């Protein structure tokens, strides 16, 4: 049984009729924190995103719609992970995600540290054999092990690459990695777009198209908010300079959908809220809703993703 948060606590503060088990979209709070390396507090990320979301407008000017009221957005109760071992916690995340996708068309997971992405993608990879991954991140997260743990957030994409071909992984905004990771990227042909490369014109002026061309039809987005420049997103464990702007990230996702790719799932991870710094929390909340608006802007809705008919190639509708 899936349990949902009520209006006062749910994403956007939605009324019961727009946030029930019938909603197309589910928000899954995952307050998982075990291995953060520098600053701490990602376990509070989901709670603060939900709080801040009450100040996000329902209406989106780009699409001239109130998506949340049209399709419904239900918010699951935060997963109780505290007393579990790492392995148990990751198994529970995987199991609940499977249950959510049996009941809702679409899910956004809120971290928590980046480690949660591996069990999430495992579920999507079963459902979408053609899946590719779009990773927004300052860090490559491709270390085989970090501080003695294969489950560190610094290793999450190495874990994902164990069941998804590394060539199906596209990383954007990377600007902090070790030699081992650089060699993994080269030898396994990960599609990595370094932040410095974007600025130096290494990928040409149309780098967004270059990013989109690396991806298959069905795309899962893992959005580590440390991809954003620390000037707009200081509330994360390891903020790195030379980050992307909010608009650049949205532009990549918008182009993806315009080119006929389908976003099948999203996670937003690594918000580590700083007291009295509410703009960062609001940025994360707004990001979640904007990503949903873009994801649902073209074919996505008709028919719902869970219908087998929706497996056909989506057409650009711009
Ligand atoms: Mn990361």
Q: What's the confidence (pLDDT) of residue 165?
A: 98
Q: What's the confidence (pLDDT) of residue 315?
A: 47
Quote the pTM value: 0.93
Residue 172 in 3-state DSSP?
Answer: strand
In the reported structure, the alpha carbon of residue 309 is separated from the centroid of ligand 1 by a whole-number distance in angstroms of: 34
In the reported structure, the alpha carbon of residue 154 is separated from the centroid of ligand 1 by a whole-number distance in angstroms of: 6
What is the DSSP track for 206-274?
THHHHHHHTS-SEEEEEEEGGGB-TTT---BSS--SSPBPHHHHHHHHHHHHHTT-EEEEEEEE-B---
Q: What is the CA radius of gyration of the chain?
A: 18
CA–CA dist 40, 271 (Å, integer): 10
In the reported structure, the alpha carbon of residue 62 is separated from the centroid of ligand 1 by a whole-number distance in angstroms of: 29
In the reported structure, the alpha carbon of residue 67 is separated from the centroid of ligand 1 by a whole-number distance in angstroms of: 28
In the reported structure, the alpha carbon of residue 153 is separated from the centroid of ligand 1 by a whole-number distance in angstroms of: 6
Asked whether the predicted pLDDT for residue 309 surpasses 50, the reply is no
- 49-104: per-residue pLDDT in tens? 999 999 999 999 999 999 999 999 999 999 999 899 999 999 999 999 999 999 99
- Which fold would CATH assign to domain 11-311? 3.40.800
In the reported structure, the alpha carbon of residue 103 is separated from the centroid of ligand 1 by a whole-number distance in angstroms of: 28
CA–CA dist 237, 192 (Å, integer): 22
Mean pLDDT of the chain: 93
In the reported structure, the alpha carbon of residue 269 is separated from the centroid of ligand 1 by a whole-number distance in angstroms of: 8
**Cβ-Cβ contacts under 8 Å for 7 (sequence gap 6 or more):** 13, 14, 15, 16, 19
Give the relative orientation of helices 45-53 and 278-295 as an angle to the nearest 10 degrees. 80
Residue 170 in 3-state DSSP?
Answer: strand
In the reported structure, the alpha carbon of residue 55 is separated from the centroid of ligand 1 by a whole-number distance in angstroms of: 27
CA–CA dist 11, 181 (Å, integer): 36
In the reported structure, the alpha carbon of residue 164 is separated from the centroid of ligand 1 by a whole-number distance in angstroms of: 17
Q: Mean pLDDT, to the nearest integer, of 110-138?
A: 97
Q: What's the confidence (pLDDT) of residue 236?
A: 96
Between the CA of residue 315 and those of 183, 248, 297, 302, what are the distances in Å?
37, 24, 12, 12
In the reported structure, the alpha carbon of residue 314 is separated from the centroid of ligand 1 by a whole-number distance in angstroms of: 30
8 A C-beta contact, residue 124 and residue 108: no
In the reported structure, the alpha carbon of residue 89 is separated from the centroid of ligand 1 by a whole-number distance in angstroms of: 18
- pLDDT interval class at 314 (50, 70, 90): very low
In the reported structure, the alpha carbon of residue 73 is separated from the centroid of ligand 1 by a whole-number distance in angstroms of: 26
Between the CA of residue 107 and those of 75, 104, 269, 279, what are the distances in Å?
10, 7, 14, 24
In the reported structure, the alpha carbon of residue 240 is separated from the centroid of ligand 1 by a whole-number distance in angstroms of: 12
In the reported structure, the alpha carbon of residue 26 is separated from the centroid of ligand 1 by a whole-number distance in angstroms of: 23
In the reported structure, the alpha carbon of residue 224 is separated from the centroid of ligand 1 by a whole-number distance in angstroms of: 5
- 275-295: per-residue pLDDT in tens? 999 999 999 999 999 999 999
Give the relative orientation of helices 278-295 and 246-258 as an angle to the nearest 10 degrees. 10
Asked whether the predicted pLDDT for residue 310 surpasses 90, the reply is no
- pLDDT interval class at 300 (50, 70, 90): very low
In the reported structure, the alpha carbon of residue 303 is separated from the centroid of ligand 1 by a whole-number distance in angstroms of: 33
CB-neighbour burial class of residue 302 (10 A; exposed 0-12, middle 13-18, buried 19+): exposed
In the reported structure, the alpha carbon of residue 20 is separated from the centroid of ligand 1 by a whole-number distance in angstroms of: 31
Asked whether the predicted pLDDT for residue 35 surpasses 90, the reply is no
Q: Mean pLDDT, to the nearest integer, of 16-22?
A: 97
Q: What's the confidence (pLDDT) of residue 37?
A: 66
Ion ligand 1 nearby residues (CB, 5 A): 114, 137, 139, 141, 224
8 A C-beta contact, residue 38 and residue 113: no
In the reported structure, the alpha carbon of residue 114 is separated from the centroid of ligand 1 by a whole-number distance in angstroms of: 5
- 251-262: per-residue pLDDT in tens? 999 999 999 999
CA–CA dist 140, 155 (Å, integer): 8
- 164-188: per-residue pLDDT in tens? 999 999 999 999 999 999 999 999 9
8 A C-beta contact, residue 84 and residue 31: no
- Segments making up each domain of the chain, as ranges: 11-311
In the reported structure, the alpha carbon of residue 214 is separated from the centroid of ligand 1 by a whole-number distance in angstroms of: 20
Q: Specify whether the backbone of 161 is left (phi greater than 0), alpha (psi in -120 to 50) or beta.
A: alpha
């Amino acid at each position: 049984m899936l349990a949902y948060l009520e209006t006062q606590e749910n994403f956007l503060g939605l009324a019961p009729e727009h946030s029930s088990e019938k909603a197309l979209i589910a928000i899954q709070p995952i307050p998982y924190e075990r291995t953060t390396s520098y600053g701490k507090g990602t376990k509070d990320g989901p709670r603060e995103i939900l709080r801040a979301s009450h100040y996000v407008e329902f209406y989106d000017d780009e699409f001239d719609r109130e998506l949340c009221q049209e399709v419904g957005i239900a918010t699951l109760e935060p997963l109780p992970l505290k007393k579990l071992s790492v392995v148990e916690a990751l198994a529970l995340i995987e199991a609940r995600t499977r249950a959510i996708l049996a009941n809702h068309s679409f899910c956004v997971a809120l971290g928590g540290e980046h480690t949660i992405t591996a069990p999430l993608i495992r579920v999507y990879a079963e459902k979408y054999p053609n899946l590719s991954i779009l990773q927004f991140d300052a860090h490559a997260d491709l270390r085989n092990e970090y501080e003695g743990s294969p489950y560190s957030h610094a290793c999450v994409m190495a874990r994902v690459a164990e069941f998804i071909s590394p060539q199906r992984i596209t990383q954007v905004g990377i600007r902090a990695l070790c030699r081992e990771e650089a060699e993994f990227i080269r030898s396994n042909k990960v599609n990595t777009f370094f932040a410095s490369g974007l600025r130096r014109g290494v990928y040409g002026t149309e780098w967004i198209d270059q990013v989109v061309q690396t991806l298959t039809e069905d795309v899962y987005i893992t959005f580590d908010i440390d991809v954003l420049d620390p000037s707009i997103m200081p509330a994360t464990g390891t903020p790195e300079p030379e980050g992307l702007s909010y608009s650049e990230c949205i532009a990549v996702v918008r182009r993806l959908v315009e080119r006929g790719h389908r976003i099948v799932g999203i996670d937003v991870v690594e918000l580590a809220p700083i007291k009295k710094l509410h703009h960062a929390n609001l940025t994360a909340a707004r990001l979640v809703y904007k990503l949903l608006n873009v994801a649902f802007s073209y074919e996505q809705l008709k028919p719902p993703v869970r219908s087998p008919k929706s497996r056909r190639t989506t057409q650009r509708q711009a």
